[in-house]
Structure 1
Amino acid sequence: MKNLKKHIEYLSADKMKGRETGMEGSLKAADYVEKHFKKYGLLPKGEQGYRQPFLAKVTRKKVEDPERSSDNIIGFIDNQSPYTIVIGAHYDHLGYGHIGGSRDSLGVGKIHNGADDNASGVAGLLELARHYSSNNIKEAFNFLFIGFGAEELGLLGSKHFTEKPTIPLENIHWMLNMDMIGRYQPENGLAVIGYGTSSAFPKIFEGISSSIKFNKSKDGNGGSDQTSFYRKNIPVLFFHTGGHDDYHKPTDDADKIDYKALEAILKLEIDVIDNSMKQPKMDFIWTN
């Protein structure tokens, strides 16, 4: 829990200025992800070390500087397997709301800290990277961890990766995405989206239980980065605790995160990942 809290409080602090694509806070967030990938001994798997640079464009609102530089941050655990599990989360957010997307018209001009969206997912990404790099087990699959840039501008980082992948797409076993996993609501439960994208998922979930309620949904599409992989015929799961009143507002702050539930979500994900490694290369099913 200590690591999760440290990551989320750092990424959603006011000094990060809402992590707007191409701006100082987003660059700092990318540096933070890279620093931890290095610390955990992940191999660089970008195009320039850990980085995969790309150009992003603001299209939702008219701004003075619509073209922005961004990076996907990519680290690899090589277990000498022919196949790889991809784990991803986007690190960008809305800045001060000027690029569009804010749900608080009076809040435009205030920092949108994005603690749940998506400092929570990045914290999960870093904890899973730490877990699989330090568990002293040579797993049956490789791991590719990706911090995506420019998700809020239209899934641009994940689209770029799937168009210019740094490992062959046909070697991907499946992709796990975390976006907004910090505000668990017991009455709704955790949404696990993409369950229908492979015939292997029902086998993988057999015997898995959790201290939190979770609901499996078949569709592979959805408003986050797994969609880019799904559209390339790759099985996906998207973990998401749902919308709330602070979504895309300046009030999405670290003190509202449910860290106990976040830990339970990561435990569930580890169980799912571990079970997926008992399966042969997973097939893909188009769900819509």
Structure 2
Amino acid sequence: MKQIAILTIWLAAAGAAMAQETAPSPERISATVNYLASDKLKGRGTETKGGEKAAKYVEKEFKSIGLKPAVAGQYYQHFVFARGNHYNLRSKNVLGYIDNGASRTVIIGAHYDHLGHGELFNGRYPNEIHNGADDNASGVAGLLELARHYQGNGVKEPFNFLFIAFGGEELGLHGSKYYTRYPLDSLGKAHFMLNMDMIGRYDAKRGVGIGGYGTAKEWPEIFKGVQDGGIKFFTDGSGKGGSDHHSFFIAGVPVLFLHTGGHDDYHKPTDDAPKVDATAEAGILKIAIQLIDNAMKFERLTYVSQD
């Protein structure tokens, strides 16, 4: 009996340690943002060495977490696109997979690219590094934290997971457009898509916005009972918008979109890592985990179109 009691205590302690290890970590969030938004990546522009380094960083992290390569044995989905007078611009999506042997898949995404020196964006601050800490190093940090959670929580979930770091978002959502045109599996098998873009500048007065509330009939039920843990949130019905969830919504996939709102540093060289609130972001990701877990209680979500 004593041995059983000791084993029970040990299992409880091991479970608590695992939960702590896979919980969103402000320290890891800060480390990701600090690297991706450092001057040495020079703004992660499309077709730049910094952009390539960012993609390689995500690939390395996917491998470390234990995600499987999703594209014929590799993590990259290459594509080309045009913007204005610039043709054959090359970029890539970085994809990692958790195969739970399920028939349907939860897709979680965030874009890793930013404006570089503004070469292709025609911005207001040419030749200055746009580090893009909030936009969207913060979202990539969230992507990696959610990947770590669902890979390491010790639960075989009833859905597979596909994690996508999109390229080419700043120049017209090109990575998500390409993926929805050439998905690895039928989009009809996608349970929903959750997108994180600019989740690092939490304002307690505003709260974090969660878009896409009107894109599935079941979202109101899924949101019931979600605890905010001190992070205020509000919902918006639209599935459309200026980030990668838009591509999935118009392709017929229910979506959620997490966003902490605009600020004075948006698309400016002043969007730097010290301004990201990693502790609040960890709280936002805990809300995301609750929503994902609640959504997995439904075998299928009912897509709702919006005119």
TM class, shorter-chain normalised? over 0.9
Residue 79 of structure 1 is aligned with which of 71, 96, 100?
100
Q: Contact 1:57/1:153 (CA < 8 Å) preserved in 2?
A: no
Residues in 1 aligned to 2:83 and 2:59: alpha-carbon distance in whole angstroms: 24
Shift of 1:48: 5.9
Q: Give CA-to-partner distance per residue, 1:91-119, whole Å, 9 cap, x none.
A: 000001121263xx2x2211000000000
Does the 8 A contact of 1:195 with 1:201 survive in 2?
A: yes
Structure 2 counterpart of 1:27, which letter? E
Q: CA deviation at 1:47?
A: 4.7
What's the counterpart of residue 91 of structure 1?
112
Preserved CA contact (<8 Å) 1:218 1:287: no
Give the counterpart letter for 2:27 in structure 1: K
What are the residue-to-residue correspondences of 1:112-151 with 2, within 5 Å?
Answer: 112-151=130-169
SS at 2:43 equivalent:
helix
Once superposed, what is the RMSD of the aligned Cα atoms? 1.1
User: Is the Cα contact below 8 Å between 2:215 and 2:255 reproduced in 1?
Assistant: yes
Amino acid at match of 1:268: I
Report Cα offsets for 1:155-203 as digits up to 9, x if no partner. Answer: 0000000000011111000000000000011121111000000011011
Match of 2:48 in 1: 23
In structure 2, the residue corresponding to 1:239 is in which secondary structure?
strand
Provide, for residues 237-277 of structure 1, a one-character-per-residue CA deviation record: whole Å limited to 9, x for no partner: 00000100000000000000011110110000000001111
How many pairs are equivalent?
Answer: 281
Specify every segment of 5 or more residues in structure 2 that has no aligned partner in the other structure, as ranges: 1-25
* TM-score, with structure 1 as normaliser: 0.95
Three-state SS of the structure 2 residue aligned to 1:57 is strand
Task: Tell me how far 1:209 sits from its aligned partner.
Answer: 1.9
Give the % identical residues.
52
Aligned partners of 1:72 and 1:157 also within 8 Å: yes
2:173 equivalent in structure 1: 155
Structure 1: runs of 5 or more not aligned: none
CA distance in 1, matches of 2:71, 2:50: 21
TM-score (norm 2): 0.89
CA contact (8 A) 1:190 1:242 kept: yes
Q: Which amino acid aligns with 2:242?
A: G
- Does 1:215 pair with 2:240? no
Q: Aligned runs of 1:154-233 on 2, under 5 Å?
A: 154-210=172-228, 211-233=230-252
Select the structure of larger CA radius of gyration: 2
